């Protein structure tokens, strides 16, 4: 039996070179098509037209509220109320949802004027040699000193602290004399409020000498809430806590000899 001489041929399909090149070419983005660009330009033009119409209507309303234009406005702007109203409207729009509240320009100017008035009154008091006197409502840290709002006298009675301070006051101070009252009222107006400060809860001094908030025990009354003296005093080197210079408050002990000032020990 003779072997078969038939040959089997296998056909391999050739790749289409044109299809291969087309598949390898980068795909164009949708945003790069002329149709998309045309639609985007039309939408932008429509949005700008709507915004322009809204702004023109807002300008017309503001001009109407501002009243007729004065005759002197030809040489310069005579009435800028509509500009201030526009600035406030823009601030209201930008602050939506943030919880912030814009301040009107006239309010800001009034605060700046009050601040300048406060500095003028402080300078005038210094020229006249009179120092403002304040009673403390709370603890303050000023001129590198922590000052308690109350202190205990030599007769073991708690009294409010009164200080002489020629600088800018704060909300923890209560004016005592006329000079301090003028400076303090201008200060309160400069920070945005002219309302009376609500008094905190009562203060008292514990047996350990700590000033705390609350009502004191019934075993001892606290003495008068108002300061004993309301007269003007001469300026003496800035801050002065009056009760610290009273006799009987401290026992002075010479530690570094007689050259240095003696140390003060509470009596």
| Position 188 in a domain | yes
Per-residue pLDDT, 266: 63
Q: Does the residue 73 lie in any domain? A: no
Mode of pairing for the β-strands spanning 140-142 and 162-164: unpaired
Q: Which two tokens stand for residue 241?
A: 């806590």
Mean pLDDT over residues 131-139, rounded?
91
- What Cα–Cα distance (Å) separates residue 132 from each residue in 137, 148, 192, 245? 16, 19, 22, 18
Rounded average pLDDT over 11-36: 62
Q: Is residue 70 part of a domain?
A: no
> 163-210 pLDDT, tens per residue?
999 999 999 999 999 999 999 999 999 987 655 555 556 666 666 666
Number of structural domains the chain divides into: 1
Domain that holds residue 262: 107-225+243-266
> Has residue 93 been placed in a domain?
no
Mean pLDDT over the full length of the chain: 73
Residue 217 belongs to a domain: yes
The arithmetic mean of pLDDT across residues 61-82, rounded, is 59
State residue 79's pLDDT score: 56
Under a CB-based contact definition with an 8 Å cutoff, are residues 262 and 249 in contact? Answer: no
In a domain, 138, yes or no: yes
Q: Give pLDDT, residue 36.
A: 84
Question: Could you tell me whether strands 173-175 and 162-164 are parallel, antiparallel, or unpaired per DSSP bridges?
Answer: unpaired
CA nearest to 170, candidates 136, 213, 119, 126: 136
Higher-confidence position of 258 and 127: 127
Instruction: Check if the beta carbon of residue 162 is closer than 8 Å to that of residue 227.
Output: yes
Pair 59, 71: CB distance under 8 Å: no
- With residue 251 as reference, give the H or E element that holds it: strand 250-253
122 vs 81 pLDDT, higher one: 122
Contact 86, 62 (CB under 8 A): yes
In a domain, 167, yes or no: yes
- The verdict on residue 97 lying in a domain is no
The pLDDT tens digits of the residues spanning 206-243 come to 666 666 666 666 554 444 454 444 444 443 447 777 76
- Chain-centroid distance of CA 258 in Å reads 49
Beta strands in 9-148 (DSSP E): 130-131, 133-136, 140-142, 145-147
């Amino acid at each position: 039996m003779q072997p078969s001489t038939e040959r089997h041929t296998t056909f391999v399909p050739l790749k289409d070179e044109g299809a291969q090149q087309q598949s390898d070419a980068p795909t164009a983005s949708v945003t790069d098509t002329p149709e998309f660009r045309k639609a985007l330009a039309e939408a932008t033009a429509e949005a700008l037209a709507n915004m322009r119409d809204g702004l023109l209507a807002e300008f017309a309303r503001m001009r109407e509220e501002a009243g007729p234009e004065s005759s002197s406005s030809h040489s310069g702007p005579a009435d800028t109320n509509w500009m201030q109203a526009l600035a406030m409207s823009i601030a209201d729009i930008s602050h939506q949802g943030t919880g912030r509240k814009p301040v009107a320009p006239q309010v800001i100017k009034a605060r700046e004027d009050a601040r300048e008035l406060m500095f003028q009154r402080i300078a005038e008091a210094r020229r006249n040699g009179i120092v403002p006197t304040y009673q403390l409502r709370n603890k303050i840290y000023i001129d590198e000193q922590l000052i308690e709002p109350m202190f205990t006298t030599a007769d073991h009675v708690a009294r409010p602290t009164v200080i002489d301070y020629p600088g800018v006051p704060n909300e923890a101070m209560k004016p005592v004399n006329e000079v301090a009252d003028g400076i303090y009222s201008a200060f309160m107006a400069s920070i945005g409020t002219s309302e009376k400060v609500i008094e905190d809860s009562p203060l008292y001094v514990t047996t350990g000498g700590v000033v705390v908030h609350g009502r004191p025990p019934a075993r001892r009354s606290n003495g008068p809430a108002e300061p004993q003296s309301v007269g003007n005093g001469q300026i003496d080197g800035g801050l002065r806590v009056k009760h610290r210079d009273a006799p009987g408050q401290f026992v002075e002990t010479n530690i570094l000899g007689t050259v240095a000032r003696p140390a003060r020990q509470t009596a």
